[in-house]
A = this chain, B = another copy of it.
Amino acid sequence: MIDFVDWIAVDWGTSNLRAWGIASDGSVAAERSSPKGMGKLTREEFPAALTELLDGLASSSGAPLDVLICGMAGARQGWLEAPYLEAPTDLSGLYAGAVRPAMPDARFAPAILPGVCQRGGADNVMRGEETQLLGLAALHTDFAGVVCMPGTHSKWARLNGTRIESFSTAMTGEMFEVLRTHSVLRHSLNGDLEGPGRSDGFVVGARAGLDHPEQLLGTLFQVRASALLSDRQPAWCAGYLSGLLIGTEVGSNRHLIGEHPVPLIGSAALCGLYAQVLAMIGATGVPQDTTKIVLAGLKAARSLSV
């Protein structure tokens, strides 16, 4: 069975690969996903991974299907490096910077969108988030303010319409994982991490991070000390560590948060935790539907190309 579509939107991240077949009226006619993220592929394996994922999708005209890709497929270690746009920059220029990797399967014509970088003392890079920011701008045309994108490497971006003014990256999610797995704190995080006590620990940690983001190297050790001295259980310690890291991230970005609500783009669970921490300083975080945002971004990028 063949699904006839107008073009294909692809989000190719480090861990996963997702695709949507877009009908001529703009609706999603087919949806596919695969675990073949950039991190699991050699350069040579990208075309086959795409063909496998898109099998059964075709254009009604018989012409090659445009496949518009955002994310880590455009990284140096990805399929084909897509040069960065340099912030401050207008994201309406994303499509003009796309690169076209060779594709043995002539049914598909892939193009990979660039990421955005920032130079001059505050070196930084993003790949994939820029498309989400464009999606947010497309769905909320009058938005101007800071956007928080929680994750392994959280991004905070100052957005004004489709223009990205500046951004930063916080290694919050990855820090949680490496400390939990490889540091002395693992001794205190060995057990049922979802049990009762987690939410209490989260609030204590978030408060410490918000009040003293400059003390992170010290407050981290309190995970261990609290387990030794106060008999804190693994779930409490996991909550404390999670809250401490998110609180530190939010605390260090406090100067960017104005009176407007902060859009949150990321997994629903993580966005819920960030919204909770933002509320602790009187701010409002508004979790977005990430799939909707990515699709809106790819559509907006494409609409600026044709």
B-binding residues in A (CB < 8 A): 76, 84, 117-119, 122-125, 153, 168-172, 174-175, 178-179, 181-184, 213-218, 220-222, 224-226, 228-230, 245, 248-249, 251-252
Contact = CB atoms under 8 A, between A and B. Distances in A.
A252 B13 CA distance: 36
A140 to B, nearest CB: 25
Nearest to A252: B214
A222 B125 CA distance: 9
A228 B77 CA distance: 11
A170 B218 contact: yes
Given A174-B183, A174-B184, A182-B182, A248 B123 contact: no
A76 B228 contact: yes
A117, A171, A220, A252, most chain B CB atoms within 10 A? A171
A252 B170 contact: no
Contacts of A118: 225
Contact of A216 (B84, B117, B182, B216): B216
Contacts of A226: 123
Contacts of A222: 122-124
Nearest to A86: B229
B123 A169 contact: no
Nearest to A117: B229
B171 A183 contact: yes
Contacts of A228: 76, 117, 123, 125
B123 A220 contact: no
23 contacts: A76-B228, A84-B229, A117-B225, A119-B230, A123-B226, A123-B229, A123-B230, A153-B221, A168-B218, A169-B218, A169-B221, A169-B225, A170-B217, A171-B217, A175-B217, A178-B182, A178-B183, A182-B182, A213-B215, A214-B251, A215-B252, A216-B248, A218-B252
A175 B216 CA distance: 11
Nearest to A251: B214
A172 B213 contact: no
A125 B229 contact: yes
A36 to B, nearest CB: 20
A248 B225 CA distance: 21
A84, A122, A153, A179, most chain B CB atoms within 10 A? A179
Given A153-B184, A178-B183, A220 B171 contact: yes
Nearest to A185: B171
A170 B230 CA distance: 19
Nearest to A254: B214
Contacts of A229: 84, 117, 119, 123, 125
Nearest to A154: B217
Nearest to A174: B183
Given A179-B178, A184-B153, A124 B171 contact: no
